[in-house]
Copies of this chain bind each other. A is one copy, B any other.
């Protein structure tokens, strides 16, 4: 019995290394296959919503989706088994997304029409951001990240300013244009202001009175000008960042996912996991 337990323990460790690690061959292969499966599953869900395609290949789509759901289920179970604190994973952001990605298919057995909720599967694409930790991109994404983080304070002040301006301009346009030309309510007016200020300009709502067009012109020139502000902020920070040294962060502990441990630690100070950095 203890032998069986230790065998199970060894299997768990192996699974852990394969799933969370990227240093072994099996670990890299696992990441690659997962990447492919996520892309395929998102492609399938996308194609299911294209009516003509769905009519032709419905049975193939359903078949493939069941296979992917099966594989994702196995992955989900392994993730729970291999980690020391399964509950922490299950209640984490990625844990919930992983569950939501497989749930709709099983529910579709009992309830009609829930398979459309498989759309949430596209959230699994967020996992793809982990690729950016790949050595080839690490430096680039770190520099980007650092510049964006440093700009955060100024960007918030800027967006705060933009939002308030948006409400004020929206209210004025509602009074000026009236309900005939699409400015049916202040929220609709604010929507128009954002569409205009960001230079998107759908044209679904557009001012028709001369005064409205005059104010709109002012809003456009304002929007055209203040785009300089976030750009200026990020650029200045980016230029600064490129002179700085970038320190590459540590891998999170595969036992408990903490990154809070000393540089040369042999054991995780949080969960006691042994680091095999050698």
* B-binding residues in A (CB < 8 A): 42, 45-46, 49-51, 116, 119-120, 122-123, 125-126, 128-129, 131-132, 136-137, 139-141, 143-144, 147-148, 153-162, 164, 167-168, 171-172, 174-175, 184-188, 190-191, 194-204, 206, 210, 213-214, 216-217, 220-221, 223-225, 227-242
| Bound: A161/B217 CA distance, A | 15
| Bound: A147/B242 CA distance, A | 13
Contact yes or no, A119 B175, CB < 8 A: yes
Shortest distance from the beta carbon of A61 to any chain B beta carbon, whole Å:
13
Contact yes or no, A237 B232, CB < 8 A: yes
Shortest distance from the beta carbon of A262 to any chain B beta carbon, whole Å:
29
Nearest CB in chain B to that of A231: its residue: B228
Contact yes or no, A220 B235, CB < 8 A: no
Contact yes or no, B51 A184, CB < 8 A: yes
| Bound: A223/B227 CA distance, A | 11
Shortest distance from the beta carbon of A168 to any chain B beta carbon, whole Å:
5
- 3 tightest A-B contacts by CB? A200-B201, A202-B203, A232-B234
Q: List, sorted by A's number, 24 A–B pairs whose CB atoms are closer than 8 Å.
A: A49-B186, A50-B185, A129-B164, A132-B157, A137-B153, A137-B157, A140-B154, A144-B154, A144-B233, A147-B232, A191-B216, A194-B220, A194-B221, A195-B217, A199-B199, A200-B223, A227-B230, A228-B230, A228-B231, A229-B234, A231-B234, A231-B235, A235-B236, A239-B239
| Bound: A51/B179 CA distance, A | 11
Chain B residues within 8 Å of A153, by CB: 136-137, 139-140
Chain B residues within 8 Å of A51, by CB: 184-185
